[in-house]
Amino acid sequence: MVVLDPGPDVEAHVRAVVSAVSGADSVRVLLTHHHGDHAGAVRALAERLDARVLGPAGDGVTDTLTDGRTIQTEVGSLVAVHTPGHTRDHLCYHWPEERALFAGDTLLGTGSTTWVADYPGCVADYLASLDRLRSLDLEVVYPTHGPPLTDPPPAIDRFDTHRRSRIAQVAEALERSPDAVAQDLLEEVYGTSLPQGMTSAALLSLDALVNHVRAAYPRKSPPSGDAGRQG
């Protein structure tokens, strides 16, 4: 059996997972990425189950997975799909026999957005990862957070459309105010829709969007000569 994204290091939770797989001949722990809500319980489970830990390189992983690696289970194969964006090393797992995908945090079960602000270039990577998911033959997507997505193409499009609409908002704002930074754009982009306590996260997301827009549409250098110096 495989325990996929075992969750936080909470004792009652760890005991419940150990109990759920108690009848297995062998157990492996599989990670999509290393955020604590996904990977916190890795060490505790590995010790109690004498389990190998497979996933992106990082703390507790005994077998590093890369794109295309296949993990065999009693109900079919899981194929690692590199889907950077949420994190640089994020992996989804394709279950071809069931036309299914375990999506980690690339997609969520509700809404139209996930966290994309982890590293420079993450926005472009995320959009490319959504394109990668479109190329798979999927009937259902299982996000780590939220219910299954039973109609994958529109769900993928929903997350893509949201991200591109944010990019367009930021691009328009920077066209008007080329030197603006994330703090300057907060109210213009989010208005009154920002939930309480989410300002810091929104600023990080905006910073990633600003960097993406400036990388994709660099400002033109001023012309040489006196006219350029006078500008």
Measured in degrees and rounded to the nearest 5, phi and psi for residue 184 equal -65, -25
Q: What does the CA dihedral 191, 193, 198, 204 come to, rounded to 10 degrees? A: -50
What span, in angstroms and rounded, lies between the C-alpha atoms of 38 and 33? 7
Please indicate whether residue 37 is annotated as part of the active site. yes
Q: Tokens 């040489």 sit at which residue? A: 224
Q: What is the C-alpha separation between 55 and 63, in angstroms, rounded?
A: 7
Choose among 33, 51, 34, 199: nearest CA to 129: 33
- Among 5, 37, 59, 226, the active-site one is 37
Q: Catalytic site residues?
A: 37
